[in-house]
């Protein structure tokens, strides 16, 4: 399984297209909101996407639950779940839908952690990173373990890798 996750692209269609062109072997593409694009934008077709706090004129859903292979994925933007303070509200939301993977954005800070068998991933921002970090998107792969690689949207080169052993 290979998931491509991006967020907070803020109208930058070129970067979204570059990522899609590079990651042609992905099983699914996810955008965690603040695309600032229209719902019917060609670049978003075939991609799961949610409403961000800057998507004022769009009619994206507030959350998405998708199944990819054996994984149940919950995606939200994060502004309605207090993600800048903690992951607690996301944990409750994940429990309600039995999600194995939770995707969110909003903070523009990439990161991944495994809590009680649930993988939480913020891909960072493809355009406006914060906290002195570089722009990123995330690649989640599962074989014998779960691997999250944060990549540069410009080059596709790995910025950081995190590997979680699963049973």
pLDDT tens, position by position, 83-122: 989 999 999 999 999 999 999 999 999 999 999 999 999 9
The mean per-residue pLDDT over the stretch 8-20 comes to 97
Q: Percentage of residues in the chain with pLDDT exceeding 90? A: 87
Q: What is the pLDDT of residue 42?
A: 96
CATH of the domain at 74: 3.60.21.10
The distance from CA 6 to its chain's CA centroid, rounded to whole angstroms, is 5
Domain range enclosing 61: 2-165
Tell me how many domains the chain contains. 1
- With a cut of 60, say whether residue 134 has pLDDT above it: yes
Reported as a pLDDT band with limits 50, 70 and 90, residue 57 is confident
What's the pTM? 0.95
- With a cut of 80, say whether residue 11 has pLDDT above it: yes
């Amino acid at each position: 399984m290979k998931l491509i996750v991006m967020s907070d692209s803020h109208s930058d269609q070129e970067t979204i297209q570059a990522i899609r062109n590079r990651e042609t072997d992905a099983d699914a593409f996810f955008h965690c909101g603040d695309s600032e694009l229209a719902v019917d934008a060609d670049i978003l077709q075939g991609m799961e996407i949610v409403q961000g706090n800057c998507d004022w004129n769009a009619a994206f859903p507030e959350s998405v639950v998708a199944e990819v292979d054996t994984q149940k994925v919950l995606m939200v933007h994060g502004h309605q779940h207090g993600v800048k303070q903690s992951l607690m509200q996301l944990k409750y939301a994940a429990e309600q839908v039995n999600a194995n993977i939770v995707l969110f954005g909003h903070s523009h800070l990439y990161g991944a952690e495994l809590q009680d068998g649930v993988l939480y991933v913020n891909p960072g921002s493809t355009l406006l990173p914060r906290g002195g970090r570089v722009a990123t998107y995330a690649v989640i792969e599962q074989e014998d373990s779960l691997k999250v690689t944060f990549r540069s949207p410009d080059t596709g080169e790995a910025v950081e890798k995190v590997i979680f052993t699963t049973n």
